[in-house]
Amino acid sequence: MPRVIGIGVIGMGWMGEAHSRSYRQIVERFPECPLHPRLIICADEFEARASAARSRFGFEKQTTDWRRVIEDPAVEVVNVAAPNNLHLEIVRHAANQGKHILCEKPVGRNPRETAAIEHVARQAGVMSFVGYNYRWAPLVQYGRKLIRDGVLGNLTHYRGRFFAGYASDPRGVLSWRFQQELAGLGVLGDLMSHVIDMAHFIAGSIQEVVGMRRTYIAERPLATAGQGTHFTTSTGGPTDKVTNEDYAGTLVEFANGARGTFEVCRIINGPKCQMAFEAHGTRGSLAWDFERMNELQLSLSEGNATRGYVRILSGPEHPYHAHFNPAVGTGLGYDDLKIIEAYEFLKSIAAGHLSEPSFTEALAVANVQAAVARSWETRSWERIQAVPPEFETPSGS
């Protein structure tokens, strides 16, 4: 008989809503899950947003104080979807209370905060998980298996990118994502964290990088507190400075000898949510793009002849697909990946051991981000090194 587990969600913006929906769907999509979630309490600093979330998703309680979520005896899982500047303090408090933690990326405002978060959770012995949701797409899982099974041969090239033009309009408001004090890194933290995690997942560990950055839109209209998202636009009124980067690009050397490139940008025109990668090996290649997440492009060599790319459609023979529908070509969407994410996290809690992606994988991503940031200053190649933790309490919390 499945055990009921209490869930508390902190931060009820767009991502907090997505996580809340995901827990509500687990029993329907994964009835075999050993833990059945119960939505106990949601927290947001704005009373109206907390109240709306309680009514909409069926939480039993609401609060404007995130500490009440952690201290509620019925809560066993704390889901962190608050702004980045709060993550360290929230995770530290939750870990000290023995609560399991699912935290949205980037886990810390900077690599040293991520290292501190990983340290406190590991020392407390709690389960952790990170919102690297793109790795759960059925065809990403299938593509990784092809590589692991040697179908593509030895990897030679890897290209990863996340082009999301949500900030291409200069009228886009100055949400916390554009402020170094609150978000920390810009797209190196926000978008590149997905790209690096996917590269680790698909191609393996990275040993050396060199990067560049640029901020294209220097000022933005001030946001209205408690309203809208980072997609919101505004005309007129006061503006303030953007204090982190809009673009980051990186050359990469993998430990297995492959070479690659990473690019991320939030002001690009054209792509809307192009979280994508291509992996090339000595016997073939594959390509995946979230904007067409239910398709995989696969090309395999036969002797000296190379076939062109063949389009593979997601179907019940691929991981997770059959939990959502029985038909080939009847695709999954973004929220479905969050459901899979929550399901895998609850499975890890029931099993009593860390599963990927935990804070261990987040720290591996942070180590790469730190090397990229160092290269911005040295303008040279930087080797990946372990980042020491920073235990200072985040400002603004």
Residues 284 and 335 in one domain: yes
> Looking at residue 232, what is its pLDDT?
80
Residues 165 and 123 in one domain: no
Q: Rounded to whole angstroms, how far apart are CA atoms 284 and 305?
A: 11
> Looking at residue 394, what is its pLDDT?
43
Q: Rounded to whole angstroms, how far apart are CA atoms 71 and 61?
A: 13
With bands split at pLDDT 50, 70 and 90, how would you rate the model's confidence at 396? very low
Boundary of a domain, candidates 133, 150, 165: 133
Mean pLDDT in residue range 205-209: 98
Residues 39 and 104 in one domain: yes
Residue 393 lies in a domain: no
Write the pLDDT tens digit of every residue in 71-103. Answer: 999 999 999 999 999 999 999 999 999 999 999
Strands 274-281 and 284-289 turn out to be antiparallel
How many domains does one find in the chain? 2
Residues 212 and 313 in one domain: yes
CA nearest neighbour of 364 among 106, 185, 19? 106
Please classify residue 146 by burial: count the beta carbons closer than 10 Å to its beta carbon, then call 0-12 exposed, 13-18 middle and 19+ buried: middle
Residues 123 and 145 in one domain: no
> Looking at residue 306, what is its pLDDT?
64
Residues 195 and 241 in one domain: yes
250: CATH? 3.30.360.10
Write the pLDDT tens digit of every residue in 119-145. Answer: 999 999 999 999 999 999 999 999 999
Residue 367 lies in a domain: no
Residue 291 lies in a domain: yes
Q: Rounded to whole angstroms, how far apart are CA atoms 142 and 200?
A: 15
> Looking at residue 391, what is its pLDDT?
74
Residue 180 lies in a domain: yes
* Mean per-residue pLDDT over the chain, rounded: 95
Mean pLDDT in residue range 196-200: 98
Residues 164 and 188 in one domain: yes
With bands split at pLDDT 50, 70 and 90, how would you rate the model's confidence at 397? very low
Between residues 307 and 297, the one the model is more confident about: 297
Residue 91 lies in a domain: yes
Between residues 318 and 232, the one the model is more confident about: 318
> Looking at residue 134, what is its pLDDT?
98
Percent of the chain with pLDDT over 70: 96
101: CATH? 3.40.50.720
Residue 382 lies in a domain: no
Please classify residue 270 by burial: count the beta carbons closer than 10 Å to its beta carbon, then call 0-12 exposed, 13-18 middle and 19+ buried: exposed
Residues 298 and 150 in one domain: yes
To which residue do tokens 């990473």 refer?
262
Residues 185 and 330 in one domain: yes
With bands split at pLDDT 50, 70 and 90, how would you rate the model's confidence at 18? very high
> Looking at residue 151, what is its pLDDT?
96
Q: Rounded to whole angstroms, how far apart are CA atoms 279 and 329?
A: 23
Residues 69 and 94 in one domain: yes
Inter-residue contact 169 to 229 (CB < 8 Å):
no
Residue 214 lies in a domain: yes
Write the pLDDT tens digit of every residue in 28-42. Answer: 999 999 999 999 999
Is the peptide bond preceding residue 34 cis, with omega within 30 degrees of 0?
no
Boundary of a domain, candidates 133, 153, 182: 133
Q: Rounded to whole angstroms, how far apart are CA atoms 361 and 107?
A: 10
Q: Rounded to whole angstroms, how far apart are CA atoms 112 and 119?
A: 10
Residue 372 lies in a domain: no
Boundary of a domain, candidates 100, 118, 133: 133
CA nearest neighbour of 250 among 368, 105, 133, 115? 368
Residues 127 and 159 in one domain: no
C-alpha distance across the termini of the chain, in Å:
41
For residue 25, the Cα-to-chain-centroid distance in whole angstroms is 20
pTM of the model: 0.94
Tokens of 163: 């082009």
Write the pLDDT tens digit of every residue in 324-373. Answer: 999 999 999 999 999 999 999 999 999 999 999 999 999 999 999 999 99
Q: Which domain holds residue 116?
A: 3-133
Please say if the pLDDT value at position 224 is more than 90.
no
323-352: b or e for each residue (b if 16 or more CB lie within 10 Å)?
bbeeeeeebbeeebbbbbbbbbbbebbeee
Residues 63 and 160 in one domain: no
